């Protein structure tokens, strides 16, 4: 008789343990703040090349007379591009040469989290 009670209590204890573990595992994970999006921006630019920062590394492209350069959808010369501008570069036939460069304004500064303003 005592062994039946022992195994009965052991079984109930095991079930209670499994139930508590399953409830703990089912608890929702803490929400994390998503990282801000990383944009490709111009690091440096000259008449011969452009280096862009992709957020996960940098890449340098040669600029040739055939490279199409636009800023805000309008054709521009390379000297109108500035470091910090958002940019999209499409490689030409040679992957080290820029076939198209499409730039836009530099990203706006994000407001400080404190929200304090100078008077």
Q: Please check the confidence at residue 112 and state whether its pLDDT lies above 60.
A: no
Does residue 59 belong to any structural domain of this protein?
A: yes
pLDDT digits (tens, 9 = 90+) for 88-103: 999 998 999 999 999 9
User: Which CATH number goes with the domain that contains 89?
Assistant: 2.40.50
Does residue 115 belong to any structural domain of this protein?
A: no
Does residue 14 belong to any structural domain of this protein?
A: no
Q: Please check the confidence at residue 55 and state whether its pLDDT lies above 60.
A: yes
- CA–CA dist 89, 98 (Å, integer): 6
Does residue 80 belong to any structural domain of this protein?
A: yes
SS (H, E, C) 30-85: CCCCCCCCCCCEEEEECCCEEEEECCCCEEEEECCCCCEEEECCEECCHHHCCCCC
71: containing domain: 41-104
Contact 97, 49 (CB under 8 A): no
- CA–CA dist 104, 94 (Å, integer): 24
If you average pLDDT over every residue of the chain, what do you get?
78
- CA–CA dist 64, 97 (Å, integer): 8
In this prediction, residue 119 carries a pLDDT of 46
Contact 42, 81 (CB under 8 A): yes
Q: Please check the confidence at residue 5 and state whether its pLDDT lies above 90.
A: no
Contact 101, 50 (CB under 8 A): yes
Segment 35-58 shows an average pLDDT of: 88
Does residue 84 belong to any structural domain of this protein?
A: yes
Does residue 112 belong to any structural domain of this protein?
A: no
- CA–CA dist 16, 6 (Å, integer): 15
Sorting pLDDT into bands at 50, 70 and 90, what band is 66? very high
Percent of the chain with pLDDT over 90: 50
In this prediction, residue 52 carries a pLDDT of 95
Token pair 């008449």 in the structure block, residue = 47
In total, how many domains does the chain have?
Answer: 1
Does residue 86 belong to any structural domain of this protein?
A: yes
């Amino acid at each position: 008789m005592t062994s039946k009670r022992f195994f009965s209590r052991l079984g109930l204890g095991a079930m209670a343990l499994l139930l508590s573990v399953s409830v703990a595992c089912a608890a929702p994970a803490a929400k994390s703040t998503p990282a801000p999006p990383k944009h490709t921006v111009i690091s440096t630019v000259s008449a011969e090349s452009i280096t862009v920062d992709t957020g996960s590394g940098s890449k340098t492209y040669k600029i040739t007379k055939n490279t199409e350069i636009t800023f805000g959808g309008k054709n521009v010369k390379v000297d109108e591009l500035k470091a910090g501008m958002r940019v999209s570069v499409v490689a030409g036939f040679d992957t080290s040469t820029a076939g198209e460069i499409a730039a836009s304004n530099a990203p706006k500064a994000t407001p400080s989290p404190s929200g304090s303003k100078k008077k």
